[in-house]
Amino acid sequence: MTQLFDIIASAGLWAAVLRIATPLIFGTLGALLCERAGVLNLGIEGIMTFGAMIGWLSVYHGADLWTGLLIAAVAGGIFGLLHASLTVTLGLSQHVSGLGVTLFASSFSYYVFRLIVPLANTPPTIVPFQPIAIPGLSTLPFIGPAFFTQTAPTYLAILIALLMAYIIFRTPVGLAIRMTGENPHAADAQGVNPMKVRYGAVIIGSALMGMGGAFLTLSAFNSFFPTMVQGRGWICIALVVFASWRPGRALFGALLFAFFDAFQLRLQTALSGLVPYQLFLMTPYILSVAALAIMARRARVPQALMQPYRRGER
């Protein structure tokens, strides 16, 4: 029992929570934005993989870290454009198109990576984002080292969550996005072009997914390896439901999720040898399924989610 308490009371745990949450925050916000406009984007897993790869590769070839992050965002946006063309313009199944984007983006990432970086025993590395101590706040006891000595993209992710909450609920643009996700016909009648809104939401949402992937290679780790995204994209899709399509709750959900993940990592070392480590590794996925089951009933799904929109056709 004291062991459990020690784990929870350590600043290291809470610092890890924010670090683990960051890619989830980016990814969940990205998926949330797409779904608010009525487009399910299952390309997320592949887009995150590609973001992780291209961000790393850019920095490895001499770009600075912020440029790497930007390139990952642009690449994510391009995959978003692909998904939007297939689902918005052509009105194809969002499920199948998203899976296609995921399969393509991840295999394309491995291909490009292997083409440029030949097999080596030790993967080449870069110098990742360093933690920034926020003056004043970081010297607070316990809270300082836990919450105010993160890398820059973590602060950025939290900022984007707050900004997105503001945009979606307080601005005309947000209203247009919500209307498009609820009832594109009504939106169209009000002079909002649902096609344009959906394109915009999917492209920007996918750009966020790309940044979430890039965080893994530019901040959390310093090299790229295949399968490093490890289902984080799918977890983000579950987190969107858990968050009931609200950015603030998405932030909370990602942090809660990351808390369990960081906690199980430490429990794993504390109990090593007693319990098979695979049981701990399963927990994020089991938690996601549980989160879906608990929240699915109460959640208010955007009514036009997964419905293609064609003017004059119902």
Partner 1 sequence: MRFERREHRPFYLLIATPVIAIIAALALAGILISIAGAPVLDAYWRILTGAFGSRLSATETLTRATPLMLTGLAAAVAFRARLWNIGAEGQFYLGAIAVAAASSKLLGNLPAPILIPLLLLVGAIAGMVLILLPLWLRLRFSVDEVVTSLLMNFIAVLFVSMLIDGVLKDPLAFGWPQSQSVSDHAMLPKLIARSRLHIGFAIAIALAIVVHFIQSRTVFGMQSRAAGLNPAGAVFAGVPLGRTLVKVACLSGGLAGLAGAIEVMGVKGYVTTDLSPGFGYAGIVVAMLANLNPLGVVFAAIFTATMFVGADGMSRGLGIPTYIADVTVALSLLTMLIALFFTQYRIRR
The nearer residue to partner 1, 172 or 276, going by C-beta atoms, is 276
Residues 6+ apart with CB under 8 A from 187: 176, 179, 180, 194, 197
303 makes contact with partner 1 (CB under 8 A): no
Of 106-125, binders to partner 1 (CB under 8 A) are 107-108, 110-111, 114-115
Of 270-299, binders to partner 1 (CB under 8 A) are 276, 278-279, 281-282, 285-286, 288-289, 292-293, 296-297
Residue corresponding to tokens 């391009």: 78
Distance between CA 185 and CA 225 in Å, rounded? 44
The nearer residue to partner 1, 128 or 233, going by C-beta atoms, is 233
Residues 6+ apart with CB under 8 A from 134: 148, 149
Which of 22, 28, 97, 151 binds partner 1 (CB under 8 A)? It is 97
221 makes contact with partner 1 (CB under 8 A): no
The nearer residue to partner 1, 141 or 298, going by C-beta atoms, is 298
CA dihedral of residues 133, 139, 144, 150 (deg, nearest 10) = 10
Which of 4, 8, 9, 103 binds partner 1 (CB under 8 A)? It is 103
Sign of CA dihedral 57, 59, 63, 69: positive
**Interaction pattern, residues 3-42, with partner 1; x per rule: CB under 8 A:** ---------------------------------------x
Distance between CA 106 and CA 209 in Å, rounded? 13
Segment interacting with partner 1, rule: CB under 8 A, options 17-25, 71-79, 105-113, 266-274: 105-113
Distance between CA 33 and CA 44 in Å, rounded? 12
3-state helix, strand, coil in the chain (%, to 5): 70, 5, 25
| Residue 132: strand, helix, or coil | strand
Of 134-193, binders to partner 1 (CB under 8 A) are none
CB of 281 to partner 1, least distance (A): 5
Q: Would you give the distance in Å from CA 282 to the centre of its chain?
A: 19
196 makes contact with partner 1 (CB under 8 A): no
Q: Which residues bind partner 1 (CB under 8 A)?
A: 42, 82, 86, 90, 92-93, 95-97, 99-101, 103-104, 107-108, 110-111, 114-115, 230-231, 234-235, 237-238, 241, 276, 278-279, 281-282, 285-286, 288-289, 292-293, 296-297, 310
